[in-house]
Amino acid sequence: MTELHEAVALGDYNRVEEILKTGRCDPNHKDVDWHDRTPLHWAAAIGQSELVKLLVDHGARHCLRSRVGWTPAHFAAESGRLGVLHTLHSLHAAMDAADLFGDTPKRLAEIYGHQDCIRFLEK
State the Cα–Cα distance between residues 57 and 36, nearest whole angstrom: 21
Indicate the domain borders of the chain. 3-122
Q: 86 with 77: CB under 8 angstroms? A: no
List strand residue ranges (DSSP E) for 1-123, in order.
none
Q: What letters, b where the CB count within 10 A reaches 16 and e where it falls short, cover 18-49?
A: ebbeeeebebebbbeeeebbbbbbbbbbbbbb
Q: Which residues contact 5 (CB under 8 A, 6 or more apart)?
A: 25, 29, 31, 34, 37, 39, 42
* Percent of the residues in the chain that have a pLDDT greater than 90, as a whole number: 97
How far is residue 33's CA from residue 92's CA, in Å, rounded to a whole number? 28
Mean pLDDT for all residues in the chain = 97
pLDDT tens digits along 67-95: 999 999 999 999 999 999 999 999 999 99
What phi and psi, each to the nearest 5 degrees, are found at residue 62? -75, 0
**pLDDT at residue number 123:** 85
Could you report the per-residue pLDDT of 92-108, keeping only the tens digit for each?
999 999 999 999 999 99
Provide the whole-model pTM.
Answer: 0.95
The fold of the 3-122 domain, in CATH, is 1.25.40
